[in-house]
Amino acid sequence: MTTATNEITFNSEEEETKQNRFVEAKEISLYSQENINSKHNALAPKYKGICNAANPEQIFNVVGMGYKIAQHDEVYDAVEATVRDLGLKAKVKTLELDDGARLRMQLTFPDLAIKIGDPQLNDLVSFRMTFDNSYNATTGLRGMIDGERLACLNGMKVADNFSTYYHRHTKGLDVNALIPTIEKGIEVFQTKIKDKWESYYNTKIDPIKARNFLEQCSEDKIISQKYLEMMIKRMDFGGSVEIRGAGQITNQWMLYNLVTEILTHECDSIDTGDRFAKKMDTKINSSLKDLLAV
């Protein structure tokens, strides 16, 4: 995986102009290696290639003739215009993956943060929305909501699909659908997701049982063992301002944060981190009766 990043702010007091332009894709015809000069040698009349416009030898994908390219720049500009139209401020981090075949936009909205637990602790989670686009069939255009915990900048993934947006490339880019998607995401974040995390905070667990739970996850191979070992080590020896030792894991919220912190900062793949965080969220909830403090 190759990554290039860029971070700007929408609707900031000093408007910034996007400097970088993302990799552009174009369509190419496909031919067999025989009879190159024949007009009847199309490899597959129902298919076409998608390649890097600046480097046609870099083939991203072979797709059906109904596939419509959604250029990364087009997606970026549509999301930017939607955020501006809604009057929202968003910090945007862009990641170009797989040599430009995929674009990920992570938008955090600093004015839409929620507090979890004791207000005096000021444990803030900012609303975050992620948009993915690809030329290599990794994904269509999709939008997902989650949060970013400001204390340690870990992505707060939940197993529940509270609000998502998915658009197939055969339909083209539907800009009008972005506004209700973002509006719904904000509403769900401030209600259902907040209630879920508040429940985590109020659910007391036994720190020793929490450690045993992670060891059992390792034995059952719930996710890659190396990440579970990091979580156990963090519980035993600390090393984090937010989570110091097993004695500090006294509620479900703290265990959940330990999991998401490791997966956010240690996973080589953003997709792996997302998937493992959701699996662990599900596992914690399904095992909750065995974690509760007596």
Residue 235: pLDDT above 90?
no
| Domain shared by 139 and 13, yes or no | yes
* pLDDT at residue number 47: 86
Residue 285: pLDDT above 90?
yes
Number of H helices, E strands in the chain: 7, 10
| Domain shared by 51 and 105, yes or no | no
Average pLDDT over residues 239-246: 45
Q: Where is average pLDDT lowest: 61-65, 236-240, 285-289?
A: 236-240
- Distance, in Å, from the CA atom of 101 to the CA atom of 138, rounded to the nearest integer, reads 9
Q: At what angle do helices 252-266 and 270-286 cross, to 10 degrees?
A: 160
pLDDT digits (tens, 9 = 90+) for 115-149: 999 888 889 999 999 999 999 888 878 888 899 99
Residue 176: pLDDT above 70?
yes
Is residue 155 included in any domain, yes or no?
yes
Q: State how beta strands 90-97 and 47-52 pair.
A: unpaired
Residue 3: pLDDT above 50?
no
| Domain shared by 73 and 219, yes or no | no
Contacts of 210 (CB under 8 A, 6+ apart): 235, 246, 249, 255, 291
- Residue of higher predicted confidence among 80 and 243: 80
Is residue 136 included in any domain, yes or no?
yes
Tell me the three state secondary structure of residue 126. strand
Q: For residues 69 and 162, is the Cβ–Cβ distance under 8 A? A: no
| Domain shared by 80 and 183, yes or no | yes
Residue 292: pLDDT above 90?
yes
pLDDT digits (tens, 9 = 90+) for 21-65: 799 999 998 876 555 555 555 566 788 999 999 999 999 999 888
| Domain shared by 87 and 222, yes or no | no
- Distance, in Å, from the CA atom of 7 to the CA atom of 2, rounded to the nearest integer, reads 17
**DSSP state at residue 251:** B
- Distance, in Å, from the CA atom of 265 to the CA atom of 97, rounded to the nearest integer, reads 17
| Domain shared by 73 and 176, yes or no | yes
Is residue 2 included in any domain, yes or no?
no
Mean of the per-residue pLDDT values for the chain? Answer: 84
Is residue 151 included in any domain, yes or no?
yes
Q: Where is average pLDDT lowest: 18-32, 186-200, 217-231?
A: 18-32
pLDDT digits (tens, 9 = 90+) for 72-115: 999 999 999 999 999 999 999 999 999 999 999 999 998 999 99
Residue 19: pLDDT above 70?
no
| Domain shared by 133 and 225, yes or no | no
Instruction: Note down the domain range covering 36.
Output: 25-64
Q: Which residue reads 């700007």 in tokens?
A: 8
| Domain shared by 174 and 228, yes or no | no
- Distance, in Å, from the CA atom of 53 to the CA atom of 58, rounded to the nearest integer, reads 9
Is residue 58 included in any domain, yes or no?
yes
